[in-house]
């Protein structure tokens, strides 16, 4: 299915009230202007202010893509479109170390950016390339590298690629694996589920790590390596959720407890050179709700994700 920019612009529109600017250096008449000092993006002051709302209500989606839904855990096209437009400029290089079916690249192309992605699962790379053809992406401007991002980054292969290009990455946006959650729930697959229920059995696949803390450490190492590839004063955005995990109790029954993955990851990355910048809640008010835990245990339906945003500034760290 071809993604149209008009759909994404419509679906990421926000009706935000802008307050009085009388106590700011900027004035009301500046709202429709683009500041010549703005090296981050090409937005007017009004567009900039709207993007800074910490709570984004996501109401709609583009039509269902029969290729994309074969992947068990994707984010919607609107998410990278929303942030690439804010945190980069035209012709910049956008990076996604967990590219999946290529959603980040498709959004980058619509916004006239270039992209580099990494994917460990060959099936997902094939799906991404099919989506690229449908959406008219030039493979010279949108690269997908096969392999695990931890090894590729550690061995310096991405660094060498960037040196050959003669540029640095302007913005990284991704949604990483959620430890082993997909494998834990793969036995719950039904006829309406995607074709693939996890990222595969490759031992280098992060979701195959036996220990949660090891998984978290490896994930943090990936973002530490990415830091070195980024322009100074650039941003990293990680889309994550907290999630429920299965826990075996003394009575032999399995119960659900929440894993504060988003918070654990935020704390871990904040201990690196990355500067914690802000968070935005991406809410899904139209999601179906189910009676999880009823009538014995309170379990909330998780209808939002966190966009954790970090900043590179070599003067501070």
Q: Is residue 23 part of a domain?
A: no
Q: Is residue 29 part of a domain?
A: no
Query: Residue 290's domain is classified under what CATH number?
Result: 3.40.50.150
pTM: 0.91
Looking at residue 274, the DSSP 8-state letter turns out to be P
Q: Is residue 316 part of a domain?
A: no
Number of domains in the chain: 1
Q: Is residue 271 part of a domain?
A: yes
Residue 191: pLDDT above 50? no
Is residue 233 left, alpha or beta, with left meaning phi > 0 and alpha meaning psi from -120 to 50?
left
CA distance 63 to 1: 8
Biggest CA pair distance of the chain: 67
Task: Note the pLDDT tens digit of each residue in 136-188.
Answer: 999 999 999 999 999 999 999 999 999 999 999 999 999 999 887 666 655 54
Q: Is residue 19 part of a domain?
A: no
Task: Answer for the pair 174, 97: CB distance below 8 angstroms, yes or no.
Answer: yes
Task: Note the pLDDT tens digit of each residue in 219-243.
Answer: 999 999 999 999 999 999 999 999 9
Rounded to whole angstroms, what are the CA distances from 50 to 54, 277, 279? 10, 17, 15
Task: Note the pLDDT tens digit of each residue in 237-285.
Answer: 999 999 998 888 888 888 889 999 999 999 999 999 999 999 999 998 8
Length of the chain: 317
**pLDDT score of 288:** 92
Q: Is residue 121 part of a domain?
A: yes
- 149: containing domain: 5-14+36-311
CA distance 184 to 187: 7
Q: Is residue 22 part of a domain?
A: no
For every residue of 194-236, DSSP letters joined together read: -S--SS-S-TTSGGG-S-HHHHHHHHHHHHHHHHHHEEEEEEE
Q: Is residue 143 part of a domain?
A: yes
């Amino acid at each position: 299915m071809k993604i149209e920019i008009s759909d994404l612009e419509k679906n990421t529109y926000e009706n935000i009230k802008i307050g009085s600017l009388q106590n700011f250096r900027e004035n009301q008449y500046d709202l429709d202007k683009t500041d010549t000092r703005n090296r981050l993006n090409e937005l007017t002051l009004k567009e900039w202010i709207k993007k800074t709302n910490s709570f984004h209500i996501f109401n709609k989606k583009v039509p269902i893509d029969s290729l994309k839904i074969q992947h068990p855990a994707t984010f919607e096209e609107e998410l990278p479109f929303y942030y690439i437009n804010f945190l980069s400029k035209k012709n910049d290089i956008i990076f996604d170390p967990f590219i999946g079916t290529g959603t980040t690249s498709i959004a980058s192309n619509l916004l006239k950016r270039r992209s580099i992605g990494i994917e460990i699962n060959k099936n997902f790379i094939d799906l991404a390339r099919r989506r690229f053809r449908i959406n008219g992406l030039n493979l010279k401007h949108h690269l997908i590298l096969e392999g695990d991002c931890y090894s590729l980054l550690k061995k310096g292969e991405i660094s060498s690629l960037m040196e050959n290009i003669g540029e640095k990455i302007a913005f990284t946006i991704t949604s990483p694996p959620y430890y082993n959650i997909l494998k834990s729930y793969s036995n719950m697959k039904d006829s309406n589920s995607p074709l693939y229920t996890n990222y595969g059995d490759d031992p280098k696949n992060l979701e195959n790590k036996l220990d949660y803390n090891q998984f978290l450490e490896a994930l943090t190492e990936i973002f530490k390596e990415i830091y070195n590839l980024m322009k100074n004063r650039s941003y990293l955005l990680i889309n994550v959720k907290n999630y429920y995990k299965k826990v075996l109790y003394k009575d032999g029954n399995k119960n659900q407890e929440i894993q504060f993955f988003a918070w654990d990851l935020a704390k871990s990355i904040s201990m690196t050179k990355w500067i914690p910048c802000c968070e935005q809640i991406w809410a899904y008010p139209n999601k179906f709700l189910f009676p999880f835990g009823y009538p014995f245990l309170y379990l909330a339906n998780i209808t939002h994700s966190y966009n954790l945003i970090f900043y590179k500034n070599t003067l501070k760290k």
